[in-house]
Amino acid sequence: MMTFRRYLRGSGRVLAFVFVASVIWLLLDIAVLRLSFSEFNLQLLKERVIREKELLKQQAKITQNRDFRSPVLRMDSAVIPEEDKGAVSSDITRIYRQGGRRHKEQNSNLQENHSNKTVSLVAPAKKPVDLLENDAPLLENITVKNNSIAESSIVTQDTVDGRKDAEIKPMKTAQHVKDESKQHQDTKEEPPVKRTHTPGTKTLVFKEENHTKMLSQSYQNSTVSRKAGVHKVLSLDVTGAPRDPTAIGQFGQAAVVPSDNEAEVKKRWDEGYFNVYLSDQIPVDRAIPDTRPDICARHLVHDDLPSTSVIFCFVDEVWSTLLRSVHSVLNRSPPHLLKEIILVDDFSTKDYLKDQLDKYMSQFPKVRIIRLKERQGLIRARLAGAAVAKGEVLTFLDSHVECNVGWLEPLLEQVYLDRRKVSCPVIDVISDQDMSYKMVDNFQRGIFKWPLVFGWSTLSSKYIKKNNMTEADPIRCPVMAGGLFSIDRQYFYELGAYDPGLDVWGGENMEISFKIWMCGGEIKIIPCSRVGHIFRGQNPYKFPKDRQKTVERNLARVAEVWLDEYKELFYGHGYHHLLDKSVIDVGNLTEQIELRNRLKCKSFKWYLDNVYPEMVTPLLKAKGLVYNRGLRKCLSLKKDSLSFEMCDLLNQSQQFNYTWLKHIRQQDLCVAPQVKYHSLVIESCDRANPGQRWLHKSSNSELPDHFVLEFSPNHVCLEAVHRSEKLRLAPCVAKSAYQKWKFTDYFSQ
Ligand code: LR7
Ligand code: MN
């Protein structure tokens, strides 16, 4: 105790005071510090909650948006393979921990994309006349030509009441079964033929009031200011009581060939690639069954419909089918509406198509024949016919058809209601085997699949119900088959007619369809107008140049002018070779592109969103981080060089696209092999350069997860080097994890 007191004396007292004061100061300091730490933590926590909320909001928005998904939202499932999740879990935490800047960038990108989408989805103003706008999803069965599938197969199709119903497709010989990617447009496939006996299939009740309502609504909204009366559609048919009721094939019935004449059938088949032998025995003015829905005969049309020129182009058409086509128009069209029939002879080689044809047709004052001095192909032949046509409406038909009762007025009625309406009949089937006339299933429309392959698809029963459709209502048609349609003559020219650079056959139906829809018009299939057509397995005439190249070139012209950024999808579906200028010269497109600009046509995206929304068209095959299984890291591009980093969904250097042209790209830069094929470089993307194409997830590939260099004849793959974490090219090894890659999001296989 004494000792302690001694310490408190003199200088010791001062020292003790200083000590106690410092202890108190220290304690106070600690208390203040603790207080500010907890405030700071609270702030951090708040920020994190806000960020997470924002992420969730975007997630909700983006899930509604089919075509655009942020990698951030898929990180748990897509970026990281299940077995590797642990390895990168710290990265996920890091993303959340990272400050706002990069995060904001990502946000604004997402917002921008989202608002773009919203704008482009604004539907065009509905015309009251049109009861059938595309406001319901169309889940449909699609029949596209696919030569790799034996066409004798039985395809099932949804019937109106949703049951599966067998639909029998006609047999086609195996010789037509060719490489699918090269033969897309070889022939047009028949639409499904109606089965005559479908017990239990619900028949839709026709609603006459619907039509009358439509007609009066249409009239109110018509661009035509004339006032006219209406009348019931004329069911004119000169062949109603045929000359020879017992003739072969009469009434559109199947004609049977006696067995001892089968050799003759075979011998003459190639003249038209159908049963020419039978056709020649069937009356050129035979009667056919009226295949229209019953209500059609009671439909009203306007009294002052425009007149039409019917244009048939032909090259080496079979005599009897050409005549039957012409007779069917003469016999079943109201004479006051039929201005003329123009036969355009596209430099045929057959003698009977010269003087004999002139002589035969001279008995019909309405028939004019124009002869082309050299082979032009059907597209320029149609242009030649249109150039001399005098009717207000042009009606194009193939030269092996049979127009049915009441076919013309419903087509002209559409044009009358709005000159930008282009109307197509339902194309019934005339059998190439027995020449019977067959009714096709209702509710069919023309569509395309990549790479611009025409096909038929059935409207879904949901769509039919939602739009309260009857079998007689016009059907919006994204793509017309091509050969059979009516169009206002002046409007045809306003649209720039056909691209005259299209050769011989193929692709012009895509061109005119995109042009019509994108430049303010519409295409409808009119179920009350029926025309039979002989669908053939092959074109019976010669192509001046290679057939396949001709069609490919036509399609490439269409793609270049009309498809915008979607042309990558066209080339990406088996047409990469067309990008090489030395392989194909598509010719000059300036005029076509100028035309599109002059007409201020809408974008192809608009067309897809508004006319054919059921078509799923992702612009990329895959996108996001490029994760390497072996390294468990992601590819990164910094200062033009590739390396690996811990995966970071917000890191822009790690974002890559895998395109339809098979590029692994970031903006305009593509991953490409080094000249000597051992290492990798980054270079400007060049769509014509096959060296920049990588196969990844390609169907039937034994190396689906690899990046296989397409260009190289040996299997060479992109590989991450284990130790150096560099990239190199190496012979492909199926099991090597270092050669396996995964994008965050895949949009297509
Ligand atoms: O060089 C030619 N010159 C011609 O005048 C080649 C053909 N033609 C004539 C030919 O004689 C025929 O009258 O053009 C017409 C059409 O030729 P097809 O019958 O050989 O064609 P297609 O029926 O096989 O093909 C369809 O696709 C074509 C693509 O260019 C045209 O658009 C056809 O008009 C079109 N036919 C139809 O749309 C009928 C329904 C088929 C379907 C689906
Ligand atoms: Mn045809």
* 3-class secondary structure per residue, 501-564: CCCECCCHHHHHHHHHHHCCCEEEEEEEEEEEEECCCCCCCCCCCCHHHHHHHHHHHHHHHHCH
Q: Report yes or no on 502 lying in a domain.
A: yes
Q: What are phi and psi of 143, to 5 degrees?
A: -110, 95
Is 538 near ligand 1, meaning CB less than 6 Å away? Answer: no
Residues in the chain: 749
Residue 354 has a pLDDT of: 98
Closest CA to ligand 1's atom 7: 378
Establish how many alpha carbons lie within 13 A of residue 36's alpha carbon, considering only the half-sphere containing its beta carbon: 5
Pocket-testing residue among 319, 398, 422, 550, ligand 1, by greatest number of atoms within 8 A of Cβ: 398
Chain centroid to CA 168? 25
- Alpha-carbon gap, residue 667 to 552, rounded angstroms: 29
Same domain, 499 and 634: no
- Whether residue 98 is found in the same domain as residue 54: no
Q: Is there a domain that residue 295 lies in?
A: yes
539 lines ligand 1 (CB under 6 A): yes
DSSP bridge pairs for 343:
312, 369
Report which bound ligand comes closest to the CA of 315.
1
pLDDT value at residue 31 = 53
User: What's the pLDDT at 6?
Assistant: 53
* Phi and psi angles of residue 421, each rounded to the nearest 5 degrees, phi first: -90, 125
pLDDT at 22: 66
Looking at all shown ligands, the one closest to residue 272's CA atom is 1
Domain boundary among 534, 562, 584: 534
Q: If we measure between CA atoms, which residue out of 694, 706, 708, 717 comes closest to residue 742?
A: 706
Has residue 305 been placed in a domain?
yes
Same domain for 255 and 373, yes or no, is yes
Per the domain annotation, does 40 fall within a domain? yes
Ligand 1 atom nearest residue 506's Cα? 30
Q: For residue 148, what pLDDT is reported?
A: 28
Query: Do 273 and 453 contact (CB within 8 A), yes or no?
Result: no
- Which residues touch 93 (CB under 8 Å, ≥6 apart)? none
pLDDT of residue 35: 41
Clarify whether residues 156 and 20 are in a common domain: no
Tokens of 29: 């300091």
- Per run of 10 residues, the mean pLDDT along the chain (length 749 residues) is 52 63 65 45 44 40 27 24 33 27 32 30 30 35 35 26 29 28 54 52 32 40 60 92 92 89 94 97 97 97 98 98 98 98 98 98 98 98 98 98 98 98 98 97 96 97 96 98 98 98 98 98 98 96 96 98 98 95 92 98 98 95 98 95 96 98 97 83 94 92 94 91 93 97 93
Backbone Cα Rg of the chain? 35
Last residue of a domain, one of 504, 534, 564: 534
Task: Give the closest residue (by CA) to ligand 1 atom 20.
Answer: 539
Residues 297 and 185 in one domain: yes
Kindly state whether residue 580 falls inside one of the protein's structural domains. Answer: no
The amino acid sitting at 650 is: L
Number of domains composing the chain? 3
Enter the pTM of the model. 0.76
Q: From the CA of 411, how far away is ligand 2's center (Å)?
A: 19
Are residues 375 and 485 part of one domain? yes
Question: Does residue 635 share a domain with residue 488?
Answer: no
Of ligand 1's atoms, which has the minimum distance to the CA of residue 187?
24
Q: Using a 6 Å cutoff on CB, does residue 188 contact ligand 1?
A: yes
Residue 397, beta-bridge partner list: 312
State the pLDDT at residue 189. Answer: 75
What spatial distance separates the first Cα and last Cα of the chain, rounded to whole Å?
91
Quick one: 185 and 291 in the same domain? yes
Cis peptide upstream of residue 704 (ω within 30 degrees of 0): no
Q: How close is the Cα of 188 to the center of ligand 2, in Å?
A: 8
Paired residues of 638 in beta bridges = 641
Q: Is residue 509 within 6 Å of ligand 1 at its C-beta?
A: yes
* Closest ligand 1 atom, residue 346 Cα: 5
Both 106 and 30 in one domain: the answer is: no
Claim to verify: residue 718 and residue 690 sit in the same structural domain: yes
Q: Which of 514, 515, 517, 509 is nearest to 493 (CA)?
A: 515
Distance CA 120, CA 117 (A): 5
Residue with tokens 């299209």: 502
Taking CA atoms only, the protein residue closest to ligand 1 atom 17 is 398
- CB of 472 within 6 A of ligand 1: the answer is no
Structure tokens at 5: 């007191």
Tokens of 145: 């030509």
Distance (Å, rounded) from C-alpha 267 to C-alpha 261? Answer: 10
**Within a domain: residue 560?**
no
Identify residue 379 by its one-letter amino acid code: I
Which ligand is the nearest neighbour of the Cα of 479?
1
| CATH number where 711 lies | 2.80.10.50
Whether 557 is in a domain gets the answer no
Pick from 505, 533, 539, 546 the residue to mutate for probing ligand 1's pocket: most ligand atoms within 8 Å of its CB.
505
Q: How many CA atoms lie within 13 A of 229 on its CB side?
A: 2
Are 627 and 644 in contact, with CB atoms under 8 Å apart?
no
With the most atoms of ligand 1 within 8 angstroms of its CB, the residue from 378, 440, 486, 534 to mutate is 378
Q: 281 CB contacts (<8 Å, ≥6 apart)?
A: 248, 249, 255
Distance (angstroms) between ligand 2 centre and the Cα of 400 equals: 6
Nearest CA to ligand 1 atom 35: 483
* Residue where a domain stops, chosen among 534, 560, 587: 534
Closest-lying ligand 1 atom to the alpha carbon of residue 554:
30
Q: Whose CA is nearest to atom 36 of ligand 1?
A: 483
**Ligand 1 centroid vs 535 CA: distance in angstroms?**
10
Can you give the pLDDT at residue 227? 60
CA 460 to CA 466: how far, in whole Å?
A: 10
Q: What are the two backbone dihedrals, phi and then psi, of residue 419, each rounded to the nearest 5 degrees?
A: -65, -10
Nearest atom within ligand 1 for CA of residue 189: 43
Q: Which amino acid is at 153?
A: S
CA–centroid distance, residue 398 to ligand 1 (Å): 6
Query: What residue type is assigned to position 546 of the chain?
Result: D
Ligand 1 atom closest to the CA of 509, numbered from 1: 32
Ligand 1 and 401: CB distance under 6 A:
no
Looking at the structure, tell me whether residues 43 and 103 fall in a common domain.
Answer: no
| Residue nearest to ligand 1 atom 1, measured at CA | 377
- Is residue 412 one of the residues assigned to a domain? yes
Report CA(466)–ligand 2 centroid distance (Å). Answer: 34
- How far is 307 from 412, CA to CA, in rounded Å? 8
Residue 508 Cα: closest atom of ligand 1 = 30
How remote is the CA of residue 317 from the centroid of ligand 1, in Å? 11
> Which atom of ligand 1 approaches the CA of 317 most closely?
11
8 A C-beta contact, residue 341 and residue 313: no
The range of the structural domain enclosing residue 482 comes to 82-534
Residues 85, 79: Cα–Cα separation, whole Å = 9
589 exposed, middle or buried (CB, 10 Å; 0-12, 13-18, 19+)? middle
CATH number, residue 217: 3.90.550.10
Please check whether residues 244 and 346 belong to one and the same domain.
yes
